[in-house]
Structure 1
Amino acid sequence: MKNLCLFLSISTILLACSPQRDLVYFSNLSEVANSRVKSDTELRLQKNDQLSIAVNSLNTEYNVLFANSSSGSTSNTNVSTGKASIKINSNGAINLPLLGEIPVEGLTIDEAQQLITKELKKQIKSPVVTVELVNFKITVIGEVNKPASLNVPGNQVNLLEALGMAGDMTVYGKRNNVLVIRETNGVRNMTRLNLNDKNVYDSPYFQLKQNDIVYVEPDKSKEKEFSPNNRALPIITACISAVAVLATALIR
């Protein structure tokens, strides 16, 4: 009878055990570490990006012309400020009054701003150009508390910030295996990042880009917990515990 009780007790413990989860980000960080953001992580403009471009100059006629222009994919305009919303076309360019097509694909926001200013100086006096990306969007799905497609204010967001915007990972999320999907020049690239490792900062995928998709995979404990084959596990465990208690009482 004692052997039976011992067997039942061990069985209960084994059934109750679950894999240990490492829920700590950068768990191998033992001291303060400094690192620089790599230059190749800076946002680059892509086809179909929507830009907000404001032009102010001493030539008020051009300001009005720019705001009223219907060339290219200009959709929303503001005449008083010379501001327009323009989409980068399939050629990777934008269409501007007097200038025609200006190739901006692959440029940073600052580089695009400088290029437009340089070209406008050939036509008008003292142009001041401001360029903003208005459709910076990322998608976070999987084991997060608020999966969603997120509009990002500004032009920069990293993986941790994106997870924070999605309510952080659930306890089932694999912190050592986060998938980032990125499409560049028609090529879809996928990589997995380990958020338990401080070296994740060195990955060019840690700094997210427009239209990136972040997928947080569930760990095996959730698969087991929600598997149809394991739905009776709590009942079985409870029965074994009851039998163990009863057997102990009978021995006494």
Structure 2
Amino acid sequence: MKPYFVVTLLIFSFLCTSCISNKDVVYLQDKVGTTNNNLVITEIPKPYRVQVSDVLSINVKALDPELVGIFNPVSEEGGSGAQSQTGLYFNGFTIDVHGNIEFPILGEINVLGFTTQEIEEKVKSELLKQYFKENAELFVTVKLAGLRYTVTGEGGGGVFTLFQDKVNIIEALANAGDLPDTADRKDILIVRQYPGGQKIHHIDLTDIKAMKSPFYYIQPNDMILVKPLKRKSLGAGQTAIQNITTIASILSVLVSTYFLTRNL
């Protein structure tokens, strides 16, 4: 009976350790049990400060539209308006290695480390100083030409661009097709660009505390790396039913082999 007991024990252990539980796949769980249904997260992400290679969309408006035509790129449809991602790449203002953009009339403007609001104020101030009069009723808007990020690892990935000012990591992953059950949501890696180089950060998306993390909201050029769960290497199914099917197949082969060798 001992061999049967050992086989039964092995099968039971395999079932218990191979299945992917809800704790591994459910986002933002209250693991401590201290929160309630009216949880409010008051953490506000810090404004993004532009870096080298970022592309800016800058639009200038005034009482006389003809006066600002030189500052606004022409869209693919022939007018000055919303542009496609390709149009923004060619007509937007790319920050060079020195942190400057080349702006019509004004020439080089250093914007490295500025927020978009600070750039708006700087461009407006320089335009009023060098080109316009105070009564021009000048209005300047500066935005990032899309929030570009990369997702790679378990479940595939790709390079994506969202035209939003603020995107959290769950929204970013959902836009990329979401994660499969075999993805390790407890240790998502974020490779983030800084003036001094790149750094790798970790975030646990199964814990509600992730919403207070400084990495919960992604930034332009972030790389999101998704690792597989360790149990995936066992080659087992994701659910108990799949595991039972696998074990039944294995036992069927073993039983058939046993009787064949016994009859020889």
Same fold (TM over 0.5): yes
Letter in 2 for 1:130: T
Higher helix proportion (structure 1 or 2): 2
Change (3 A) 1:15 1:240: farther
TM-score (ref. length: structure 1) = 0.78
Show the counterpart of 1:108.
115
Residue 5 of structure 2 is aligned to residue 36 of structure 1:
no
Cα pair 2:106 2:126 within 8 Å, conserved: yes
Counterpart for residue 160 of structure 1:
170
Structure 1 window deviating more from structure 2 (156-165 vs 84-93): it is: 84-93
Cα distance in structure 1, aligned partners of 2:16 and 2:252: 14
Q: Is the contact made by 1:159 and 1:208 (CA closer than 8 Å) also made in structure 2? A: yes
2:171 partner letter: E
- 8 A contact 1:64–1:80 mirrored in 2: no
Summarize the Cα distance change of 1:130–1:9 in structure 2 as closer, same or farther, 3 Å threshold: same
CA contact (8 A) 1:173 1:216 kept: yes
Looking at structure 2, the residues matched to 106 and 161 of structure 1 have their Cα atoms a distance apart, in angstroms, of 26
Equivalent residue in structure 2 for 1:54, among 35, 42, 59? 59
2:150 aligned to which of 139, 149, 156: 139
Measured at CA, do residues 39 and 174 of structure 1 come closer, stay the same or move farther in structure 2, by a change above 3 Å? closer
Scaled by the length of structure 2, what TM-score is found?
0.75
Query: Mapping of 1:231-246 within 5 angstroms?
Result: 236-240=250-254
Q: Which runs of 5+ in 1 are unaligned?
A: 68-75, 227-232, 247-252
Q: 1 CA distance for matches of 2:3 and 2:107?
A: 87
Shift of 1:236: 4.1
Distance 1:11 1:97, change over 3 A: closer
Partner of 1:25: 27
Gaps of 5+ in 2: 83-90, 237-245, 260-264
- Residue aligned with 2:137, SS: coil
Larger strand proportion of the pair: 1
Deviation string for 1:182-204 (max 9, x for gaps)?
Answer: 01114111111111222112221
The aligned residue for residue 192 of structure 1 is 202
What amino acid is aligned across from residue 140 of structure 1 in structure 2?
V
Q: How far off is 1:171 after superposition?
A: 0.8
Question: In structure 1, which of residues 221, 225, 235 is the aligned counterpart of residue 231 of structure 2?
Answer: 221
Is 2:11 the counterpart of 1:12?
yes
2-side partners of 1:87 and 1:46: how far apart? Answer: 10
Using the aligned pairs only, state the percent identity. 27
Q: Helix, strand or coil for the counterpart of 1:18?
A: helix
Q: 1:17 to 1:35 in 2, by over 3 A?
A: closer
Cα pair distance change 1:180/1:82, threshold 3 Å: closer
Give the length in aligned residue pairs: 228
What's the counterpart of residue 243 of structure 2? none
Aligned to 1:66: 71
